[in-house]
DNA sequence: TTAACATAGTGTATTTTTCACACTGAAATT
DNA sequence: AATTTCAGTGTGAAAAATACACTATGTTAA
């Protein structure tokens, strides 16, 4: 039987794909490992699950350690358990993705021992990843592609106040295709879950667009009805 | 720290919701436990994952031990990891569902030690379940409800040759609503993934219906296009 | 043999949704 | 005042979804 990892009496871990949206780019947070195995490789942030924390708590902790953020939209999406996915033992990893608003100085924390650095990296320019993390990322991206079609998750990537163009941008980048502006607006507004803030964008060097916010109350009242793109 | 279970050096398990369809009813396989904790309770079939098997293999093994079946449609759908979900220690459980064709003598095997008996039970008449198995079942049912709308999984619950009425039945029971016969047939046939076998149902005491089979080749050629109900 | 029964199988009209498509308007910059 | 940049808007055509009820065929039992 294989050697079990030290430190925790536990053989399962969490890996997180932290998605962030900034200036029209979809990025994820990667760390550069400072420990074997895969020392100096880029990897998804992750950690062993402590004995006294639930999976959700563990994922939230990892996110918090890196970004100091709490109350972020996170979702468990798959568990990876191939026998040899970790070279030092049997580690089953439960994958989560998170969606968060970048911009401003949401830079990740300096990391003590287990990573040299952490950076937001455009999903179109990912380096080679440690372990089976490429596979974990792929499945996570696929997941949000499916989910954005039916669930109001795009708003999690935007600031509270956003323009319709920014919203369309999120859809276009995640779905990886151009959408028609008029049709997008018509459909999006028809769901009745956006609140017109009667307020304009600021600091742009052209005509300012109207700001909207996502109205959770109204969304909750839709019940069965589904958003669909 | 809590005591870890004996027998396996592993603290994760698989639980399976085995769905079967028979005579218009959706059923799952439940076992009556023969061991503490929850001795004499009904539970989902499950087991600890061995160190040398992947999660998928483990799920397939559990299914096989109960039904002698292999090559069944199974899918991992969620991992349950609350700290206290198992009274004797920290056990994270990865949930799978399977879809299989009942009818004939697909009765579950006699079980040696860990269960007294196993039965197919209508999902509308479930007893109280051990552990957090009600929650695991609920999420599994929810999952196939979503999935049947876009993926060709209904066929997994039917014999190879089936009538359109039987197929409609599967949809109605899983989606839990009546569908219009003419619209259902029109739409289903329009996907072009059913092969008319030019053959009639046998042994019925009324006009026999045409038999169809699901044509995987044609489905594969649809690529992006999605089935949608 | 025929009447009763049970389910198979079929078409159309209406409404709703999707899709394709291009210009004018407002604000800022030079 | 001219230029630039993006905001914002409507219509017609095609496709898809929905609502709806009768005839056809085979079996069974009188």
Give me the pLDDT at residue A84, please: 94
Q: What spatial distance separates the first Cα and last Cα of chain A, rounded to whole Å?
A: 49
Helix pair A133-148, A164-175: axis angle to 10 deg: 130
Give me the pLDDT at residue B45, please: 97
Note whether A81 contacts B54, CB cutoff 8 Å: yes
Give me the pLDDT at residue B123, please: 98
**Chain B residues lying within 8 Å of A51, measured CB to CB:** 1-2, 83, 90
In a domain, B170, yes or no: yes
Tokens of A61: 């902790």
In a domain, B116, yes or no: yes
Of A11, A79, A82, the CB nearest to B11: A11
In a domain, B76, yes or no: yes
Residues A179 and A73 grouped into a single domain = no
Domain harbouring A134, CATH code: 3.90.79.10
Q: Which of A79, A146, A175 to mutate to test the interface with B (most CBs of B within 10 A)?
A: A79
How far from chain centre, in Å, is Cα A12? 21
**Chain A residues lying within 8 Å of B55, measured CB to CB:** 79, 81-82, 92
Alpha-carbon gap, residue A55 to B81, rounded angstroms = 6
B60 to chain A, closest Cα gap in Å: 14
Distance in Å from D12's C1' to B61's CA comes to 59
Residues A89 and A141 grouped into a single domain = yes
Coil/strand/helix, residue A1: coil
Alpha-carbon gap, residue B49 to B59, rounded angstroms = 9
Residues B100 and B193 grouped into a single domain = no
With a CB cutoff of 8 Å and minimum separation 6, the contacts of B22 are B102, B103, B120
B45 to chain A, closest Cα gap in Å: 19
Residues B35 and B144 grouped into a single domain = yes
Note whether A79 contacts B79, CB cutoff 8 Å: yes
**Strand D contact nucleotides, protein CB < 7 Å:** 4-11, 17-21, 24-28
Location of structure tokens 């876009």: B150
Domain harbouring A174, CATH code: 1.10.10.10
Residues A123 and A30 grouped into a single domain = yes
Nearest to B112 by CA among B67, B70, B60, B65: B65
Residues A21 and A93 grouped into a single domain = yes
Residues B92 and B109 grouped into a single domain = yes
Q: How many residues belong to chain B?
A: 229
Note whether B2 contacts A51, CB cutoff 8 Å: yes
Distance in Å from C15's C1' to B127's CA comes to 45
Nearest CA in chain A to B83: A54
B109 to chain A, closest Cα gap in Å: 28
In a domain, B61, yes or no: yes
Q: Which range marks the domain in which residue A86 is found? A: 12-148
Give me the pLDDT at residue B3, please: 40
Do residues B214 and B152 make contact, with C-beta atoms less than 8 angstroms apart? yes
Give me the pLDDT at residue A2, please: 36
**Chain B residues lying within 8 Å of A4, measured CB to CB:** 9
Give me the pLDDT at residue A108, please: 85
Footprint of strand D on the protein (CB under 7 A): A 163-165, 181-183, 185-186, 206-210; B 180-183, 186-187, 204-208, 228
Residues B197 and B165 grouped into a single domain = yes
Can the peptide bond before residue A37 be classed as cis, meaning omega within 30 degrees of 0?
yes
Which residues of chain B have a pLDDT value below 70?
Answer: 1-10, 224
Q: DSSP assignment of B63-121, as one string?
A: HHHHH---S-EEEEEEEE--TTSSTTS--EEEEEEEEEE-SSS-PPPP--SSEEEEEEE
Computed from CA positions of residues A63, A64, A68, A71, in that sequence, does the dihedral angle turn out positive or negative?
positive
A204 beta carbon < 7 A from strand C? yes
End position of a domain, from candidates B104, B130, B148: B148
Tokens of B182: 């003419």
Give me the pLDDT at residue A5, please: 38
**What values do phi and psi take at B58, rounded to 5?**
-65, -45
End position of a domain, from candidates A100, A116, A148: A148
Do residues B126 and A46 make contact, with C-beta atoms less than 8 angstroms apart? no
Can the peptide bond before residue B37 be classed as cis, meaning omega within 30 degrees of 0?
yes
**Chain B residues lying within 8 Å of A83, measured CB to CB:** 51-54
Give me the pLDDT at residue B103, please: 79
| Largest Cα–Cα separation, chain A | 66
Note whether A82 contacts B54, CB cutoff 8 Å: yes
Alpha-carbon gap, residue A16 to A63, rounded angstroms = 8
In a domain, A1, yes or no: no
In a domain, B2, yes or no: no
End position of a domain, from candidates B90, B114, B148: B148
Alpha-carbon gap, residue A49 to A63, rounded angstroms = 13
- β-bridge mates for residue B96, sequence order: B16, B76
In a domain, B36, yes or no: yes
What residues of A are in the B interface, CB distance below 8 Å? 1-2, 4, 9-12, 49, 51-55, 76, 78-79, 81-83, 90, 92, 94
- Report how many domains make up chain B: 2
Nucleic chain C contacts, protein chain A, residues 180-199, CB cut-off 7 A: 180-183, 187
Residues A88 and A195 grouped into a single domain = no
**What values do phi and psi take at B64, rounded to 5?**
-65, -40
Between the alpha carbon of residue A68 and those of residues A10, A101, A106, A110, the distances in Å are: 25, 13, 9, 11
Computed from CA positions of residues B108, B112, B114, B115, in that sequence, does the dihedral angle turn out positive or negative?
positive
Tens-binned pLDDT, residue by residue, of chain A (229 aa): 334 334 344 589 999 999 999 989 999 999 999 998 999 999 999 999 998 999 999 999 999 999 999 999 999 999 999 999 999 889 999 999 999 999 777 778 878 778 999 999 999 999 999 999 999 999 999 999 999 999 999 999 999 999 999 999 999 999 999 999 999 999 999 999 999 999 999 999 999 999 999 999 999 988 767 889 8
Q: Which helix (H) or strand (E) holds A105?
A: none
Alpha-carbon gap, residue A163 to A10, rounded angstroms = 46
Residues B143 and B167 grouped into a single domain = no
Note whether A54 contacts B4, CB cutoff 8 Å: no
Q: Which of B92, B96, B136, B176 to mutate to test the interface with A (most CBs of A within 10 A)?
A: B92
Instruction: For the beta carbon of residue A33, count every other beta carbon within 10 angstroms.
Output: 18
User: What DSSP character marks residue A124?
Assistant: G
Residue closest to D18 C1′ by Cα: B183
With a CB cutoff of 8 Å and minimum separation 6, the contacts of B20 are B26, B27, B28, B29, B99, B100, B101, B102, B106, B120, B157
Residues B96 and B176 grouped into a single domain = no
Residues A130 and A167 grouped into a single domain = no
Q: Can you give A45-79 as a three-state secondary structure string? A: CEEECCCCCCHHHHHHHHHHHHHCCCCCEEEEEEE
In a domain, A187, yes or no: yes
């Amino acid at each position: 039987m294989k050697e079990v990892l030290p430190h925790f009496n536990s053989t399962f871990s969490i890996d997180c794909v932290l998605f962030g949206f900034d200036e029209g780019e979809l990025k994820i947070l990667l760390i550069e490992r400072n420990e074997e195995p895969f020392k100096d490789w880029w990897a998804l942030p992750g950690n062993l699950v402590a004995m006294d924390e639930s999976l959700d708590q563990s994922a939230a902790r990892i996110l918090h350690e890196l970004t100091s953020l709490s109350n972020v939209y996170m979702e468990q999406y798959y568990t990876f358990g191939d026998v040899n996915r970790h070279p030092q033992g049997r580690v089953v990893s439960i994958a989560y993705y998170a969606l968060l608003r970048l911009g401003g100085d949401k830079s990740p924390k300096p990391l003590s021992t287990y990573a040299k650095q952490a950076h937001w990296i455009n999903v179109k320019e990912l380096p080679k990843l440690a372990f089976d993390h490429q596979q974990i990322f792929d499945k996570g991206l696929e997941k949000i592609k499916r989910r954005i079609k039916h669930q109001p998750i795009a708003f999690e990537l935007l600031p509270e106040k956003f323009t319709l163009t920014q919203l369309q941008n999120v859809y276009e980048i995640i779905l990886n295709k151009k959408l028609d502006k008029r049709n997008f607006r018509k459909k999006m507004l028809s769901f009745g879950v956006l609140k017109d803030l009667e307020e304009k964008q600021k600091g742009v060097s052209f005509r300012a667009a109207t700001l909207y916010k996502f109205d959770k109350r109204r969304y909750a009242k839709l019940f069965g009805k589904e958003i669909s793109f």
